[in-house]
């Protein structure tokens, strides 16, 4: 069956690719060079997924000027893209199969990321998946970061699918909150967080068949809350 009026809205970091290691390396190096401070992996993990300005203020615990935030963030992002080019990235398990199946079924697909556009483009090109997306929404396209629903609503508008017919795939609590506030169903992937409050929670996209996504958008809210573990792999 061809679904022309449904969409998958993909978060990027932690959903399409496991990029946390390279982000951490880029932040740690930048903060060491610029501020002579070390950044622990725990510090990094507690702020991962926030916009850069929020992340820096949250981590440093004091107000930074807009110029200082922009300088640090620009340096970190340039270093991050260098690391992508040097080390490459790999798609997370099950992602390519989902991208292909959704494409074959006629679903629209979009990226909705808090990252700058240059990063989104660097990532989708590094793993050669740009052709699957009819929209890519990045930090420059929205005023408010997740958990605000703006990025998801912008993606839905761009692919011309009503929010109720969109499924968001996310790995972060803020992203899931944003998806819910956008009126969208949400699949949570446990890449970067130990638990998530999504309609469906899985360890990776290999745990669930794409066809199940069609049921998710056609059932009443709260009817499909489901926690999968390895014992249920392949059941749905």
Least distance in Å: CB of 167 to Mg ion? Answer: 15
Report the DSSP pairing between strands 226-227 and 166-170: unpaired
Residues 6+ apart with CB under 8 A from 67: none
Which residues contribute to the site for Mg ion (CB under 5 A)?
11, 13-14, 171-172
* Nearest distance, CB of residue 119 and Mg ion, angstroms: 12
Q: Where are the alpha helices (DSSP H) in the chain?
A: 20-35, 41-47, 52-60, 66-87, 95-104, 117-126, 150-159, 173-181, 211-218
Q: For residues 172 and 200, which CB has a smaller minimum distance to Mg ion in the complex?
A: 172
Tokens 């059941």 identify what position?
235
Query: Contact, 88 vs 18, CB < 8 A?
Result: no
For residue 130, the minimal CB distance to Mg ion (Å) is: 18
Residue 231, SS3? helix
Are the beta carbons of 29 and 207 closer than 8 angstroms? no
Please, what is the minimum distance in Å from the beta carbon of residue 33 to Mg ion? 26
Q: Which is nearer to Mg ion, 53 or 71 (CB)?
A: 53
Distance of closest approach, residue 152 Cβ to Mg ion, in angstroms: 13
């Amino acid at each position: 069956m061809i679904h022309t009026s449904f969409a998958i809205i993909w978060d990027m970091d932690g959903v399409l690719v496991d990029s946390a290691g390279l982000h951490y390396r880029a932040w740690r190096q930048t903060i060491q060079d610029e501020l002579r401070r070390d950044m622990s992996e725990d510090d990094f993990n507690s702020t991962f997924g926030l916009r850069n300005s929020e992340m820096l203020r949250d981590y440093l615990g004091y107000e930074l000027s807009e110029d200082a935030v922009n300088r640090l963030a620009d340096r970190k992002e340039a270093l991050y893209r260098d690391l992508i080019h040097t080390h490459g990235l790999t798609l997370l398990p099950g992602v390519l199969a989902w991208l292909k199946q959704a494409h074959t079924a006629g679903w629209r697909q979009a990226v909705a990321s808090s990252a700058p556009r240059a990063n989104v483009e660097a990532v989708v090109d590094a793993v050669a998946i740009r052709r699957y997306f009819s929209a890519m929404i990045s930090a420059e396209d929205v005023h408010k970061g997740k958990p605000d629903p703006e990025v998801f609503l912008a993606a839905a508008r761009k692919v011309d699918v009503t929010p109720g017919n969109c499924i968001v795939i996310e790995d972060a609590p803020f992203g899931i909150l944003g998806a819910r506030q956008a009126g969208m169903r949400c699949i949570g992937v446990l890449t970067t967080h130990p638990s998530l409050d999504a309609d469906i929670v899985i360890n990776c996209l290999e745990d669930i068949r794409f066809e199940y996504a069609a049921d998710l958008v056609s059932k009443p809210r709260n009817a499909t809350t489901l926690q999968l573990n390895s014992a249920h792999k392949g059941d749905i």
